[in-house]
C-alpha cells in the first residue's frame, strides 16, 4: 500500500504544481473561448487543464517504475505501454480541440484510433466472466469491438458531465477510488496478479484528480477541457479492460471450496461486469438520455444543449456547489454499494455504512436551507477563495450566488496579473479565443 500511496501523492503533487503554469500558458495561447448561452460560468476561463493531468500521469508512472513491487507491472506485460500510447493520442486530440475546435465525428474517429492502438499493443478483453458459467472466451475480433466500444463510451460519458466546476474530476476520482478498492482486494486478498495494472492505474488516476481539483473547484480558475475529460475517461476504460477477462474464476473457487461459495459469498469474479458501469452510472445515464433527447428532437446526438442532469439541478434552484455535491454523493453511493458486494463480513459492513452516509449526504443536500461551506476549523487550511467572508457569506458558494442568482454558475474571474497579461497580449488572445471550439468539446 505504501508504494501505491507514494505514486498517488507524487501524481497529485505534480498535477497540482503544473496546473498554475498551464493556466498561464492557456491564457497566452488564447485557449479562452467566449461565454456561450449554454455555459454556466460568466466570464471566459482558460482551458487546457489536460496538459497538467497528462504531466501528472507521466510523473506517477515514472515514480511507479522505480518502486520494488510496482515494477512487476512494467516487466510482466504491455499494459503501461499501451496506456501511454492511447493516452498520448487522446491527449493530443483534446489539446487540438481545446485550442482550435475539432468536428465531433473527427473526434469520435480519433477516440477509436486511440482505442485501436491500445488493442494492437495487447490491452484488450480476452474473456468475460459469466455468472454460473465461468470465463467465456471471446474471439480477437469480439475482444477488439468490446474494448473499443468501452473506451468510446467511457470517454464520452466523462466528457458529457464536464459541465460544472469540479464535477468531472470529482466524479472520476470517486469512481477511481471504488475501482482501486476492488482491484486492490483482488490483488492482495486473492493473490491475482492480473489485477496489478488496474490497481496502479486507478491509484494514478486518483492522484491526477486530487491534484487538479483545487484549481477546478467552484469558482474554477481553469477548465480541464477535452484534453482532460477524454484522458480521464480513457484511464477509467483502461482500468476496466485490464482487469475484465483476466481474473481466473478457478483461483477463487480453489480458495472458497466451491463455485457456489465463490458466486454467492465472495462474488468479486463477477464484479468486472458491473463495476465499470456503476462507477459511471450517472454519466452513462446522462449520455443515453442526451442521445435519446436530441435524436427525438431531430438533432444530432452530438448537438450540445443545456438539459444535462447537472443543468437540471441548477434549474430547480440548487446552487452550483450544492449541485456538484449532490452528483458526488450519488456517484459514491452507486460505486461503493457495488464494491460492497465484493467484500464479506466486517468489510461489507464498513462499505455499506459508507454508502449509507452517502445517502444521508444526499438527503441533507436536498434540504432547502442547507448551504455547503467550509468548516471554520478547516478554513486556515484551504485557499482564501474557499473561506467564509466576514459578513458570513460562504466563499465556497460564491460571493453573490444563491437563490436570487438561479442557474448562473461559477465566476472564474481572472487575477489582476492575468488581466495585465491579457492587456499586454492585446487583441491577439481575444481573437484566438473567438476562433476556439467549445469549452468541453463535444458537449461541455
- Binding residues for Mg(2+) are 159, 226
Q: What is the DSSP letter of 262?
A: I
Supply the pLDDT for residue 266: 43
Respond yes or no on whether the N-terminal peptide bond of residue 219 is cis (omega within 30° of 0). Answer: yes
Supply the pLDDT for residue 206: 96
Residues 98, 238: contact at Cβ < 8 Å? no
Q: What would the grid cell of residue 309 be?
A: 442532469
In a domain? residue 127: yes
User: What is the rounded CA–CA span in Å between residue 68 and residue 118?
Assistant: 26
Supply the pLDDT for residue 438: 40
In a domain? residue 175: yes
User: What is the rounded CA–CA span in Å between residue 314 and residue 311?
Assistant: 5
Residues 60, 8: contact at Cβ < 8 Å? yes
Task: Write a three-state SS string for 154-177.
Answer: HHHHHHHCCCCCCHHHHHHHHHHH
Q: What would the grid cell of residue 42 be?
A: 460568466
User: What is the rounded CA–CA span in Å between residue 429 and residue 432?
Assistant: 5
Supply the pLDDT for residue 207: 97
- Binding residues are 159, 226
Residues 248, 70: contact at Cβ < 8 Å? no
Domain, as residue range, for 93: 2-37+44-369+410-435
Supply the pLDDT for residue 345: 57
User: What is the rounded CA–CA span in Å between residue 41 and residue 442?
Assistant: 17
Residues 88, 50: contact at Cβ < 8 Å? no
Q: What would the grid cell of residue 336 be?
A: 461503493
Supply the pLDDT for residue 116: 95
Angle at 207 between CA 374 and CA 1, to 5 degrees: 110
Number of separate domains in the chain: 1
In a domain? residue 150: yes
In a domain? residue 316: yes
In a domain? residue 398: no
In a domain? residue 382: no
Supply the pLDDT for residue 375: 72
User: What is the rounded CA–CA span in Å between residue 425 and residue 189?
Assistant: 57
Beta bridge partners of 129: 135
User: Would you give per-residue pLDDT tens digits along the chain (444 residues)?
Assistant: 899 999 999 999 999 999 999 999 999 998 887 665 555 556 778 989 999 999 999 999 999 999 999 999 998 888 999 999 999 999 999 999 998 888 888 999 999 999 999 999 989 888 776 656 666 788 889 989 999 998 998 898 888 777 778 888 998 998 899 889 888 888 887 777 888 999 999 999 999 999 999 999 888 899 999 999 999 999 989 988 888 766 665 665 566 555 554 444 445 455 555 655 665 666 667 667 777 766 777 666 655 655 556 556 666 666 777 778 888 887 787 777 777 766 655 566 776 777 788 778 777 777 665 566 677 777 776 666 666 654 444 444 443 344 333 333 334 445 566 666 666 665 444 444 444 444 444 444
Going by C-alpha positions, the residue among 224, 167, 214, 222 that lies closest to residue 384 is 214
What SS3 state is found at 41? coil
In a domain? residue 443: no
Contacts 24+ apart (CB under 8 A), 41-44: 41/165, 41/219, 41/220, 41/409, 41/410, 41/411, 41/412, 42/408, 42/409, 42/410, 42/411, 42/412, 43/411, 43/412, 43/413, 43/414, 44/412, 44/433
In a domain? residue 281: yes
Q: What would the grid cell of residue 331 be?
A: 456517484
Amino acid at each position: 500500500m505504501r508504494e501505491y500511496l507514494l505514486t498517488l501523492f507524487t501524481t497529485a503533487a505534480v498535477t497540482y504544481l503544473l496546473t498554475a503554469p498551464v493556466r498561464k500558458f492557456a491564457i497566452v495561447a488564447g485557449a479562452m473561448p467566449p461565454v456561450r448561452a449554454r455555459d454556466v460560468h460568466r466570464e471566459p476561463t482558460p482551458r487546457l487543464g489536460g496538459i497538467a493531468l497528462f504531466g501528472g500521469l507521466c510523473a506517477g508512472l515514472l515514480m511507479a517504475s522505480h518502486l520494488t513491487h510496482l515494477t512487476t507491472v512494467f516487466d510482466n506485460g504491455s499494459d503501461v505501454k499501451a496506456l501511454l500510447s492511447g493516452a498520448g493520442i487522446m491527449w493530443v486530440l483534446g489539446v487540438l480541440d481545446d485550442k482550435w475546435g475539432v468536428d465531433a465525428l473527427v473526434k469520435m474517429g480519433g477516440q477509436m484510433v486511440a482505442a485501436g492502438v491500445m488493442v494492437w499493443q495487447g490491452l484488450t478483453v480476452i474473456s468475460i466472466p459469466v455468472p454460473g458459467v465461468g470465463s467465456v472466451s471471446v474471439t480477437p475480433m469480439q475482444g477488439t469491438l468490446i474494448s473499443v466500444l468501452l473506451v468510446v463510451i467511457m470517454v464520452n460519458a466523462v466528457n458529457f458531465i464536464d459541465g460544472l466546476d469540479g464535477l468531472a474530476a470529482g466524479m472520476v476520482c470517486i469512481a477511481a477510488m471504488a475501482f482501486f478498492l476492488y482491484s486492490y482486494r483482488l490483488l492482495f486478498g486473492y493473490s491475482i496478479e492480473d489485477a496489478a495494472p488496474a490497481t496502479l492505474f486507478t491509484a494514478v488516476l486518483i492522484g491526477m484528480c486530487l491534484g487538479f481539483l483545487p484549481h477546478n473547484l467552484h469558482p474554477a480558475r481553469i477548465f480541464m477541457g477535452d484534453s482532460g475529460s477524454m484522458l480521464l475517461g480513457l484511464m477509467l476504460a483502461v482500468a476496466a479492460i485490464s482487469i475484465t477477462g483476466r481474473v481466473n474464476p478457478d483461483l477463487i473457487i480453489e480458495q472458497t471450496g466451491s463455485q457456489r461459495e465463490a458466486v454467492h459469498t465472495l462474488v468479486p469474479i463477477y464484479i468486472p461486469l458491473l463495476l465499470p458501469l456503476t462507477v459511471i452510472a450517472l454519466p452513462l445515464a446522462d449520455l443515453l438520455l442526451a442521445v435519446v433527447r436530441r435524436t427525438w428532437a431531430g438533432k444530432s446526438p452530438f448537438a450540445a444543449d443545456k438539459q444535462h442532469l447537472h443543468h437540471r439541478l441548477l434549474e430547480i434552484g440548487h446552487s452550483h456547489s450544492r449541485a456538484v455535491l449532490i452528483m458526488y454523493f450519488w456517484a459514491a453511493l452507486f460505486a461503493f454499494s457495488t464494491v460492497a458486494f465484493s467484500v464479506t463480513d466486517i468489510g461489507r459492513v464498513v462499505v455499506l455504512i459508507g454508502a449509507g452516509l452517502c445517502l444521508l449526504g444526499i438527503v441533507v443536500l436536498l434540504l432547502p436551507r442547507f448551504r455547503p461551506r467550509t468548516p471554520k476549523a478547516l478554513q486556515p487550511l484551504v485557499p482564501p477563495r474557499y473561506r467564509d467572508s466576514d459578513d458570513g457569506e460562504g466563499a465556497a458558494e460564491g460571493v453573490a450566488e444563491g437563490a436570487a442568482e438561479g442557474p448562473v454558475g461559477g465566476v472564474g474571474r481572472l487575477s489582476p496579473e492575468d488581466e495585465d497579461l491579457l492587456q499586454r497580449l492585446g487583441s491577439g488572445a481575444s481573437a484566438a479565443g473567438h476562433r476556439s471550439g467549445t469549452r468541453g468539446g463535444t458537449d461541455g
